Structure 1
C-alpha cells in the first residue's frame, strides 16, 4: 500500500496579513498530481485542515473542492481534526462522506475503531486519532492525570486492544500531538497543559506507521514515526524548512520505503539583516526581490522612510525591525547627582535620532520635564510638550 502523508494545511491562514489561499490552492493541485503520478492508494491528513474553528467561506470552499477531487481520484482518504479545527464542524456529515472513500475522524470516542483497507498483502487498519484535549477526555475516559501523555496513552491503549483482536494486522495511526524529539517553529499554537505539551515516541511502538501532525517542520523520529510538516511556511522561523509530504510504502511486514515529496513554493521566505543602503544596493540579494522578506536594520541612526525604500526593491517586505546599537532609556546613566532630568532627556533624543536638540527644542524639552511634576500650575505646559513630541519623533 502506498501512503501519502500530509498535515497542517491551515486553510484560510494569512501570513502577516497577506492572504495565502491562492498558494494553498496550488498545493491542492500538487497533491492531486502526486496521487496520480505516484499511484497513491491512501492519503492521510493528520489534523489542522483549517486555521480556525470558524473558517472563512473561501477556506471551506477550497477544502470542499480538495476532498471532492480526492474522492474522485484513485486514493482513499483519512482525515482527522487538529487543535485549530472545530471537531464538530469538520466532522459534520462524516458518516455520509465515508461512502465516497473520504473518512473524516473527529470523534474521540471512536479512536479504537479503524478504517479497514486491503492490499495484496492483506488488511491494513487505519486509526484516525483527532486532537485529544486532556480537559475534554479526562472525565469520560477516567484518566488519572491531566496531560497529553495520559490522553494519547489511553487512545493508543484502545488502538492496541483493537489490533490484538485482529491478529496482528498492519496498522497506520494518525495523531495530532507534540511528540518528543521534534522541534517546534513559531507558527504552532501552544497546546501545553500544566506546562507540559510533549508525549513520548514510545506511545507508537509496534505501529506499522504513525503519521503525525501539529508541528510545521518535517521530522523523522523513527523509521515509522514521522511528521510531514505544513505544506507552506507560516512564519519566518520556517524560512529554511523543506515543505512537502511523505510518500510511504507499506509492505507485508511494515514500512519498506519512505521518500519526501517536495511541495511547490509559490513565494519563498528570506530574512535579511544589515544597513539599509547595503540591502538596497547589494547585487547578491537580487534573488530575494520576489520573496516574502523580514528585514532587520542595523543602522546606527534609524533611516527615514525605511519600509517605503525597502519595498521599492523588495516589494513583498512584510516585517521591519531595528537592531539598535545605542542604549535604551533604562540603560542611560542616571546616578550622577549633578545631571538634571532635562539633560537625560536631551541625551536620549541625541542617541535616538543622531543629533542633539536645538536651543528651541531644548527649551521645550525643559518645559515637558517640568510638566511632569505634581505642581498643578505647570500642568498646562503638558499639552505643548506632547505636541512637540509628536513633531520631534
Structure 2
C-alpha cells in the first residue's frame, strides 16, 4: 500500500496580511499530481486543515475541491482535526462526504480504525484528533489527564488496544509536539516547548507508521515517526525548510520504504540584512523583485518611511525590522530605570528618545529644540 503523508494545510491563513489562498491552491494541485504520478492509495492529512475554527466560505471550497480531486484519482483520504480546526465542524462535514473520504474528529473513537484493504490484507488507520487535556478529560474522568503527554499516552493505549482487536498492519495519525523535534524547525504559533506539552517518543510505540502534524517543518524522529510539515511557508522563520510530503510504502510485513516528495514554492521567502541603502540596491531589487522580502536594516537610527521605500523596490516586501548593529550596552538598562535616574524634563525626553532609537539620544539640534519647547511650556505655565 502506498500512502502520502501531509499535514497543516492551514487553509485561510494569511501571510503578513496577504491571502495565501491562491498559493495554497497551486501547491495542493501539485499534491494531487503527486498522488496521480505515484499511484497513491491513501492520503493522510494530519490535522490543521483550516487555520481557524470558523473558516470563510472560500476555505471550504478549496478543501472540498481538493478532497474530491484526490478521491477521483482512486485514493482514499483520511483527515484528522488539529488545534486550529473545529472538530465539531469537521465532524459535521464528515457525514456529508462521499465514500472514501474519512474525517476523524471523535476522541472516543480513537480505537476504532478505518480499514483499507490491499493485496496483502487489511491496513488499520487510527486517527487521533488534537487532544486538549482540559477539554477531552470529560470522556475519561477517572484518568489523570493534565498534560499532552498523559493524554497522548492514553490515546496510544487505545490505539494499541484497537490493533490487538483488529489484527493487520497499522498506521496512526496524530497532531502533537513530540520529543526530539529540532528547535529550529518552524514551530506552531501556539506550541509551547515546556515539559507539559512534549510527548515522549516512546509513547508513540506500536504502529508500523505514525504520521504526525503540528510542526511546520519536515522532521524524522525515527524511521516510523515523522512530520510532513506545512505545504506552504507561513513565516520567514520557515524560509529555509523544504516543503513537501512523505511517500510511505507498506508491504506485507509493515513499513517498507519512505521517500520525500518536494512540493513547489509559489513565491520564495528571503531575508535581506544590512544598511537600508544596501538593501535597496539595484542588485537586490533585480534578484528579489518577485520574492517575499523581510528587510532587517542595521542603520544606527530608524530611517524615514522604510516600508514605503522598500515597497518601491520590492513589491512583495512583507516585513521590516530595525536591528542596529552598534546599539550601545546602555540599552540593557530598562526604560523605567533610565526614567528614574532622570532629574529634569529634558533628561526624561532624552531617555525616551534613547529608548526608541536604539540608544541614540537627541542630536545637538534636537536637544536645542527640546529645550526651546520646554522653556516655552514653563513660560506659558507662569502666565496662568
Q: TM-score normalized by structure 1?
A: 0.86
Gaps of 5+ in 2: 355-359
Contact 1:116–1:124 (CA under 8 A) maintained in structure 2: yes
Q: Is 2:187 aligned against 1:196? A: no
Q: CA deviation at 1:143?
A: 1.7
Aligned to 1:177: 176
Q: CA deviation at 1:360?
A: 4.6
Aligned to 1:118: 117
Contact 2:27–2:263 (CA under 8 A) maintained in structure 1: yes
Aligned to 1:306: 306
Q: Distance in 2 between matches of 1:336 and 1:122?
A: 77
Q: Distance in 2 between matches of 1:214 and 1:122?
A: 31
Task: Give the direction of change, closer, same or farther, for the CA distance of 1:178–1:348 in structure 2 (3 Å limit).
Answer: closer
| Higher alpha-carbon deviation: 274-283 or 206-215 | 274-283
Q: CA deviation at 1:18?
A: 0.4
SS at match of 1:196: helix
Q: TM-score normalized by structure 2?
A: 0.88
Q: Is 2:61 aligned against 1:61? A: yes
Contact 2:4–2:43 (CA under 8 A) maintained in structure 1: yes
Q: CA deviation at 1:245?
A: 0.5
Aligned to 1:26: 26
Aligned to 1:130: 129
SS at match of 1:92: helix
Q: Distance in 2 between matches of 1:232 and 1:5?
A: 15
Contact 1:126–1:173 (CA under 8 A) maintained in structure 2: yes
Q: Is 2:104 aligned against 1:105? A: yes
Task: Give the direction of change, closer, same or farther, for the CA distance of 1:23–1:149 in structure 2 (3 Å limit).
Answer: same
Aligned to 2:357: none
Q: Distance in 2 between matches of 1:333 and 1:94?
A: 59
Gaps of 5+ in 1: 372-376, 382-393
Cα RMSD, aligned residues only: 2.8
Q: Map of 1:229-248 to 2, 5 A cutoff?
A: 229-248=229-248
Q: Is 2:64 aligned against 1:43? A: no
| Higher alpha-carbon deviation: 219-228 or 261-270 | 261-270
Task: Give the direction of change, closer, same or farther, for the CA distance of 1:179–1:379 in structure 2 (3 Å limit).
Answer: farther
Contact 1:188–1:215 (CA under 8 A) maintained in structure 2: yes
Q: CA deviation at 1:147?
A: 1.1
Q: Is 2:138 aligned against 1:139? A: yes
Aligned to 1:364: 373
Task: Give the direction of change, closer, same or farther, for the CA distance of 1:231–1:144 in structure 2 (3 Å limit).
Answer: same
Q: CA deviation at 1:57?
A: 1.0
Contact 1:78–1:104 (CA under 8 A) maintained in structure 2: yes
Task: Give the direction of change, closer, same or farther, for the CA distance of 1:3–1:379 in structure 2 (3 Å limit).
Answer: farther
**Residues 328-361 of structure 1 deviation map (CA, whole Å, 9 limit, x = unaligned):** 5847978989x74425635765835655326454
Contact 2:215–2:227 (CA under 8 A) maintained in structure 1: yes
SS at match of 1:267: coil
Q: Distance in 1 between matches of 2:152 and 2:78?
A: 19
Task: Give the direction of change, closer, same or farther, for the CA distance of 1:276–1:89 in structure 2 (3 Å limit).
Answer: same
Contact 1:346–1:362 (CA under 8 A) maintained in structure 2: no
**Residues 108-148 of structure 1 deviation map (CA, whole Å, 9 limit, x = unaligned):** 11100001111122111011111111112213213223111
Aligned to 1:342: 346
Q: Distance in 2 between matches of 1:139 and 1:83?
A: 18
Contact 1:349–1:357 (CA under 8 A) maintained in structure 2: no
SS at match of 1:357: helix
SS at match of 2:312: helix
**Residues 242-272 of structure 1 deviation map (CA, whole Å, 9 limit, x = unaligned):** 1111011111222211111111111111111
Task: Give the direction of change, closer, same or farther, for the CA distance of 1:212–1:192 in structure 2 (3 Å limit).
Answer: same
Q: Distance in 2 between matches of 1:346 and 1:144?
A: 56
Contact 2:14–2:20 (CA under 8 A) maintained in structure 1: yes
Task: Give the direction of change, closer, same or farther, for the CA distance of 1:353–1:317 in structure 2 (3 Å limit).
Answer: farther
Q: How many correspondences in the alignment? A: 372
Contact 1:295–1:321 (CA under 8 A) maintained in structure 2: yes
| Higher alpha-carbon deviation: 341-350 or 252-261 | 341-350
Aligned to 1:389: none
Contact 2:211–2:226 (CA under 8 A) maintained in structure 1: yes
**Residues 184-237 of structure 1 deviation map (CA, whole Å, 9 limit, x = unaligned):** 656613255996111011122121000000110110000000000000011111
Q: Map of 1:135-174 to 2, 5 A cutoff?
A: 135-141=134-140, 142-167=142-167, 169-174=168-173
Q: CA deviation at 1:311?
A: 1.5
